Structure 1
Amino acid sequence: MRMMMMNSDNINHSNGNEEQDNLGSNEIEKTKICLMRTFVEAQDPSSKEADDLTLRRFLRARDLDVEKASAMFLKYLKWRRSFVPNGSISPSELKNEIQQNKMFLQGSDKKGRPVGVLLAGRHFQHKGGVDEFKRFIVYIFHKIFARMAPGQEKFLVIGDLEGWGYANCDIRAYLAALSLVQDYFPERLGKLFIVHAPYIFMAAWKIVYPFIDIKTRNKIVFVENKKLKSTLLEEIEESQLPETYGGQLPLIPIQDT
């Protein structure tokens, strides 16, 4: 009995320490958000429109370094004014990308994160070039963000490479998408499952991999075909999983959501 009480005391003490650590971390973040806000608003008054969650994402992306996070955020504001001057991307600017019908959005994972599906075997270079592809990525992000529940900040993507071949290989587009994720939309990607990856894809992967930062690398999971459904079900309920992976939801093109 005495040993059980001692063990119980240890557990309670441990839980208490964790709660204190979490409270301490939250207070540190709040303080640094205030410091960051003061700095960025002095540099760019338009940053007053940004909420604390946005600033926190940039802080976390730079390991709570206020100076680095501020520089990153100010760069983002400058990019947004030039790349998305109207605040959104119109489908009329994405005719070539939308015609490929390669991005889908439906359902949520167990953490409430929206689930997107990218069929990479349908991507081909076109006359719109990398600029249109970058606009398409921003369009995708805005569509996903509009589906997020209050308080949710991240999303999950299933990158399906079935049928992918050298004709689909577009290194410039991959690097452009990576730059958008890491530089302008930090702490948004929750997880990326890469499924049905053919062996020849690894040649492209070796080129792109060095440009992926550690935080993003930790969110990427290559899934074996034989473990596909079981792996996805660890994150997504069957009722929220697309039918093509053994779930119950149809694939809905992102432009129709």
Structure 2
Amino acid sequence: MEKSPELALTQMRKSVEKLGFSTENYGDPTLMRFLIARSMDIEKAAKMFVQWLKWRSSIVPNGFIAESEVPDQLEARKVFLQERLAKMYALHMPRFFVSVWKMVCRFLDKATQEKIVIVTNEDEKKCFVEEVGEEAVPIEYGGKAKLTPIQDVQVPPLEG
């Protein structure tokens, strides 16, 4: 039986407390990213969260850090900057890209593969429009949004 998100969050908070740390300053969305990153395994998510807290306190002692100061270490990013992408759609991709993607995606875990949709047919396009919402999808992709191409945007001059 699959756990509800609320129950998983409650159990994760208790697990973090057992490890001697607090989740008091962190909301459900932050904790849920750790749970998702560890396939809803409460103990693994709690341990990852505690590691992240330790890393964050060592690297961000004042509670904030400029993006340029974040170390560019792939492993640190992989471990500590978890689960931000819910779903990504790629539209109008060349056939070459689709072929290469089919080979590359085999090396990704299943959860990541399911987040990335290369829209190649009308059923996938319909699903894309339904999930994103017609109001947000440009007309040329099957939605109702009228967007101005970036090259046509008029920016007023700065005053002062």
Question: TM-score range, shorter-chain basis?
Answer: 0.5 to 0.7
Structure 2 equivalent of residue 194 of structure 1: 90
Structure 1 equivalent of residue 82 of structure 2: 185
Moved more, 80-89 or 64-73: 80-89
Q: How far apart in 1 are the matches of 2:102 and 2:66?
A: 29
Contact 1:223 1:231 in 2 (8 A): no
Determine which of 202, 208, 214 is the counterpart of 2:110.
Answer: 214
Structure 2 equivalent of residue 234 of structure 1: 130
Q: Which amino acid aligns with 1:37?
A: R
Q: Which amino acid aligns with 2:40?
A: L
Residues 239 and 220 of structure 1: is their aligned pair in 2 closer, same or farther, counting only changes over 3 Å? same
Which structure ranks higher in relative contact order (CA pairs < 8 Å, sequence separation ≥ 6)? 1
Structure having the larger proportion of residues in strand: 1
Q: Which amino acid aligns with 2:89?
A: F
Q: How far apart in 2 are the matches of 1:225 and 1:248?
A: 23
| Partner SS, residue 36 of structure 1 | helix
Q: Which runs of 5+ in 2 are unaligned?
A: 151-160
The reply to whether residue 249 of structure 1 matches residue 147 of structure 2 is yes
Contact 2:87 2:115 in 1 (8 A): yes
Q: Which amino acid aligns with 1:206?
A: M
| Partner SS, residue 87 of structure 2 | strand
What TM-score, normalized by structure 1, do the two folds share? 0.41
| Partner SS, residue 56 of structure 1 | helix
Q: How far apart in 2 are the matches of 1:77 and 1:184?
A: 12
Residues 197 and 216 of structure 1: is their aligned pair in 2 closer, same or farther, counting only changes over 3 Å? same
Identity %: 35
Q: Which amino acid aligns with 1:184?
A: L
| Partner SS, residue 146 of structure 2 | coil
Q: Which runs of 5+ in 1 are unaligned?
A: 1-20, 94-129, 135-171, 253-257
Determine which of 24, 46, 54 is the counterpart of 2:30.
Answer: 54
Matched residue pairs, number?
145
Structure having the larger proportion of residues in helix: 1
| Partner SS, residue 40 of structure 2 | coil
Q: How far apart in 1 are the matches of 2:40 and 2:131?
A: 28
Quote the RMSD (CA, aligned, Å): 4.3
Q: Residue by residue, what CA displacement relative to the aligned partner does 1:5-37 show, whole Å, maximum 9, x if unpaired?
A: xxxxxxxxxxxxxxxx8xx944x842x433422
Give the C-alpha shift of residue 193 in structure 1: 0.7
Q: Residue by residue, what CA displacement relative to the aligned partner does 1:186-234 show, whole Å, maximum 9, x if unpaired?
A: 2x42221122323443447634641x22122112211127778645422
